[in-house]
Structure 1
Amino acid sequence: MTQAQRIKYSIVISILVLLLMLGLSWLQSTGAISEKLFQYIAIATAVLVVVINGVMRRRVK
């Protein structure tokens, strides 16, 4: 993986996380999910993104 590929993937991941958080906020405001579930999903997403970023960083040549 090159540095340019890592940057592209990082941008895509950040857009996906933003869309996920907006969707979760909307679901919470409509009452479909609770505050606790929102927090758990947000924390899991953050951990997943950190792990993916670490893996991508190690694969840059």
Structure 2
Amino acid sequence: MTQKQRLKYSILIAVAVLAIMLGLTWLQTHNVITEQVYKYIAIGVALAVVVLNGILRRKVRP
């Protein structure tokens, strides 16, 4: 994986996380999910992004 590919994936991940968080916020404001569920899902998303970022960083070739 090149630096350019990693940048593309990083931007894609950032947009996906933004969409997920906005969706969760919408669900919470419409009383579909509770604040506790929102927190657990948000923590899960954050952990997934950290792991994915670590994987992408290791696959970059100079």
Which of the five TM-score ranges fits, normalised by the shorter chain? over 0.9
AA aligned to 1:47 is L
- Deviation, 1:20, is 0.4
Identify the residue that residue 40 of structure 2 maps to in structure 1.
Answer: 40
The runs of at least 4 aligned residues of structure 1 exceeding 2 Å deviation read none
1:4 corresponds to 2:4: yes
Gaps of at least 5 residues in structure 2 are none
Identify the residue that residue 28 of structure 1 maps to in structure 2.
Answer: 28
Matches of 2:56 and 2:16 in 1, distance apart?
17
- Deviation, 1:26, is 0.3
Gaps of at least 5 residues in structure 1 are none
AA aligned to 1:18 is L
Normalising by structure 2, what TM-score? 0.97
Q: Equivalent pairs: percent with the same residue?
A: 56
- Deviation, 1:4, is 0.4
**1:10-58 alpha-carbon deviations (Å, 9 max, x no partner):** 0000000000000000000000000000000000000000000000000
